[in-house]
Amino acid sequence: MRVLVVEDEPMLADAIAEWLRDEAHAVDVAHDGAAALERIAVHDYDVVVLDRDLPVVHGDDVCRELVAARADTRVLMLTAAAEVTDRVAGLSLGADDYLAKPFAFPELAARIQSLGRRCRPAAPPVLRRSGVTLDPARHEVFRDGRYLPLSKKEFAVLAELLRADGAAVSAEHLLEKAWDEHADPFTGAVRLTILKLRRKLGDPPLVETVTGVGYRLR
């Protein structure tokens, strides 16, 4: 998934981002509300992890604009305020979930995974097609019972291909979902990752190139 972390404490923001990247998500970071709105206007995020008390533009205002502009993006609000009234206020703004600080990183990751499922068409927890089984929770992939040791990017790309269920997926979509904002769209990152993925999947070949469109899984 593509995730935006909006947190004005740099160390905490970086810690959250690194944890989520280890979970094979593409993660961008913003340290104030204005920077968050700039990124939201450019990128299509699945989940935004939003600190409520932000400088420049308050987190409440970011949430309002995000909810009004992007119906498919889910918002997980973070805050040091843990009172029931604070949670109710945050959810009333349109946030999909609310987590008080301090929090456990595994719980944050689990909540983000749950929110990500809501912004996509319904899909089984374990993805299967053409003898390939991908378990997002365990970060395991098998082909015909053979374990495949995939990198984070290979795992994320394969997950998107499996979710497409045989439909073609563009390189732009894969770049959007598996890489962060620092990825150069003119590099061959997607093509190289597809090449490595094909090698690891083995024979018979499963990933097809659809000329002028992208890639699909047989």
Distance CA 1, CA 21 (A): 10
Distance CA 164, CA 13 (A): 31
Cβ-contact 116, 47 below 8 angstroms: yes
Whole-prediction pTM value?
Answer: 0.63
Q: Look up the CATH number of the domain holding residue 163.
A: 1.10.10.10
Radius of gyration of the chain (CA): 18
Domain boundary among 72, 98, 117: 117
pLDDT at 121: 54
- Report pLDDT digits (tens) over 168-213: 999 988 988 888 766 666 668 899 999 999 999 999 999 999 998 9
- Report pLDDT digits (tens) over 33-84: 999 999 998 888 999 999 988 999 999 999 998 888 866 889 999 887 666 6
Percent of the chain with pLDDT over 90: 55
Average pLDDT over residues 147-175: 92
Residue 160 lies in a domain: yes
Cβ-contact 69, 48 below 8 angstroms: no
Number of folded domains that form the chain: 2
**Six-digit token pair at 122?**
């319904």
| List of E strands, the chain | 2-6, 26-30, 47-51, 74-79, 97-100, 127-129, 132-135, 140-143, 146-147, 207-210, 214-217
pLDDT at 33: 94
Distance CA 139, CA 176 (A): 20
Same domain, 108 and 132: no
Same domain, 50 and 69: yes
- Measured N-to-C along each axis, helices 33-42 and 59-69 cross at an angle, to the nearest 10 degrees, of 20
- DSSP characters over 73-88: -EEEEEES--SHHHHH
pLDDT at 134: 94
pLDDT at 82: 62
Confidence of residue 31 (pLDDT cuts 50, 70, 90): very high
Question: pLDDT averaged over the chain?
Answer: 87
DSSP state of 180: -
pLDDT at 170: 93
pLDDT at 188: 85
Domain membership of residue 170 as a residue range: 127-217
Same domain, 100 and 174: no
pLDDT at 194: 95
Q: Look up the CATH number of the domain holding residue 9.
A: 3.40.50.2300
